[in-house]
A and B are shown apart, each in its own frame.
Chain A
Amino acid sequence: MTFVFGGDQIASRVSGVVVGAFHYPFFMIRNTFVELSRVNQENQRLQQELVEFSTRFSRFEEMERENVRLRAILGFDPPAGYSLVPAKVISIAGDLVPTAAIINCGLNDSVEVDQPLINEQGLIGRVVTVASDVATVQLLTDPAHRVAVRIANSRDMGIAKFKPSQGMILDNVPVQANIKEGDLVVSSGLGGIYPPGLVVGTVVSVSRSEEEPFCDVHLETAADFNSLEELFILGMDEP
């Protein structure tokens, strides 16, 4: 439009002045909004990523804990004549203390009623019912459960049972039995369900009374029943 402004250079200058005066302020405003919108979008994306990474991190932490547990289980040998079938706890029942657990193995895994369950800490319980893919386990902490046990050192025998008011106790131990705090208690093998030598717990207190024929023995279970996860079913090896 040279005939209006006399030349391209003048036209460019006029254009620059007009743009600077009437367009530039609004460019700044628009760019500010565009930048705010971009920052907002980036913020949302980063928040989403944070949640995603946080979830992933929690999963890794859980895997790390599982790894530690599984490493502890490695090198854990079953009793002679038995093989280990791994199982995972999928549900726990019980009010104050867990009394039963459901595991993810059943008839399809050749699980049978009365098979014992252990973990790397000690005896857990026995299978009481079996479905095709799951089985119910009666835990040592079920008040109706009894285990024939023996003091590992003295070989004195007794019956381990759980009383909600007292915890795990040892019944039928005569006062003259050689038993003291810290003694290891293992299954005796009597009763036919549990093989001998499975760790049940340790003696935490022994009290004797001259009027009573039996000791009052309290045990601490070897297994932590509040954090059951990976278990092993003890399957009898084929002869």
Chain B
Amino acid sequence: MRVIPYILFLLLVGMHVVFLRDVTSIYGVSPDLPILIVLLVALYKNDTVATWFGFAVGLVAFAALPERFGWYALLMAAVAFAACQVRERLNLESLKAKLLLVAGGVLLHGILIQLIDTAGSLAALWTLVPAVTVYTTVIAWLFFLFKEGTITFEKTKSIF
């Protein structure tokens, strides 16, 4: 297992927690980049890698909350494992299926986070969580379009 890409992903999560979240915020809604990265790894790697990586991402993303970050790490690992199981059992070759998995994973993660978080409010379940899910899914959609070559830098440059 090449470790460096995963360390870079973890650094990206750290950057997201420190300032990328604020920079990308639209009306208080930021993309859930940690779970998106975990789900993308779950889509392309096996369940062991995805689960451990999910756990590590959970630690990095919630390191500022030492009293609960273990729970969050386990939750992230569980979501990653579940995503791997879904991917193995269903045909996820199409873009829509992948997006559906990402959206479902982000939504599930958001709901569980709100339930675990003692400071979280239930109202966030139908306001913040769906908005975060949509925002994150849009980013995932752009990622898949780039990955599949539908959008390329050359095509983007030719527009301008």
Q: Which chain A residues have a beta carbon within 8 Å of chain B's beta carbons?
A: 1-5, 8, 11-12, 14-15, 18-19, 21-23, 25-27, 29-30
- Contact between chains at A22 and B11 (CB < 8 Å): yes
28 contacts between A and B (CB under 8 A): A1-B70, A1-B71, A1-B74, A2-B70, A3-B70, A4-B70, A5-B70, A8-B66, A8-B67, A11-B66, A11-B69, A11-B70, A12-B66, A14-B59, A19-B63, A19-B64, A21-B14, A22-B14, A22-B60, A23-B18, A23-B60, A23-B64, A25-B14, A26-B17, A26-B18, A29-B19, A30-B18, A30-B19
Main secondary structure of the interface of B (DSSP, over half): helix
Chain B residues in 8 Å Cβ range of A3: 70
Q: For the complex, what is the distance from the CA of A29 to the CA of B20, rounded to whole Å?
A: 11
Chain A residues in 8 Å Cβ range of B64: 15, 19, 23
Q: For the complex, what is the distance from the CA of A176 to the CA of B60, rounded to whole Å?
A: 111
Chain A residues in 8 Å Cβ range of B17: 23, 26
Q: Which 8 A-B pairs have the closest CB atoms?
A: A1-B70, A22-B14, A15-B66, A4-B70, A26-B18, A18-B63, A30-B19, A22-B60
User: What string of 1s and 0s marks CB contacts (under 8 Å) between B70-81 and chain A?
Assistant: 110110000000
Other-chain contact of B69, A1, A27, A30 (Cβ < 8 Å): A1
Chain B residues in 8 Å Cβ range of A26: 14-15, 17-19
- Contact between chains at B66 and A14 (CB < 8 Å): yes
Interface status of B36 (Cβ within 8 A of chain A): no
- Contact between chains at B74 and A4 (CB < 8 Å): yes
**Which single residue of chain A is at the shortest CB-CB distance from B11?**
A22
Q: For the complex, what is the distance from the CA of A72 to the CA of B52, rounded to whole Å?
A: 91
Number of interface residues of B (CB under 8 A): 21
**Which single residue of chain B is at the shortest CB-CB distance from A26?**
B18
**Which single residue of chain B is at the shortest CB-CB distance from A23?**
B14
Q: For the complex, what is the distance from the CA of A25 to the CA of B8, rounded to whole Å?
A: 13
**Which single residue of chain B is at the shortest CB-CB distance from A20?**
B63
Chain B residues in 8 Å Cβ range of A18: 59-60, 63
Shortest Cβ distance from residue A229 to the other chain B in the assembled complex, whole angstroms? 59
**Which single residue of chain A is at the shortest CB-CB distance from B55?**
A4
Chain A residues in 8 Å Cβ range of B68: 1
Chain B residues in 8 Å Cβ range of A5: 70
Shortest Cβ distance from residue A28 to the other chain B in the assembled complex, whole angstroms? 9
Other-chain contact of B67, A1, A19, A27, A29 (Cβ < 8 Å): A1
Interface status of B13 (Cβ within 8 A of chain A): yes
**Which single residue of chain A is at the shortest CB-CB distance from B72?**
A1
Interface status of B107 (Cβ within 8 A of chain A): no
Given contacts A14-B66, A19-B64, 9 further A-B contacts (CB under 8 A): A1-B70, A4-B70, A8-B66, A15-B63, A15-B64, A19-B63, A22-B60, A26-B18, A30-B19
**Which single residue of chain B is at the shortest CB-CB distance from A28?**
B18
Interface status of B42 (Cβ within 8 A of chain A): no
Q: For the complex, what is the distance from the CA of A25 to the CA of B11, rounded to whole Å?
A: 9
- Contact between chains at A27 and B18 (CB < 8 Å): yes
Shortest Cβ distance from residue B117 to the other chain A in the assembled complex, whole angstroms? 14
Interface status of B10 (Cβ within 8 A of chain A): yes
B10-41 residues with Cβ-Cβ distance < 8 A to A are: 10-11, 13-15, 17-19
Chain A residues in 8 Å Cβ range of B67: 1, 8, 11
Chain A residues in 8 Å Cβ range of B15: 26
**Which single residue of chain A is at the shortest CB-CB distance from B22?**
A30
Chain B residues in 8 Å Cβ range of A29: 18-19
**Which single residue of chain B is at the shortest CB-CB distance from A12?**
B66
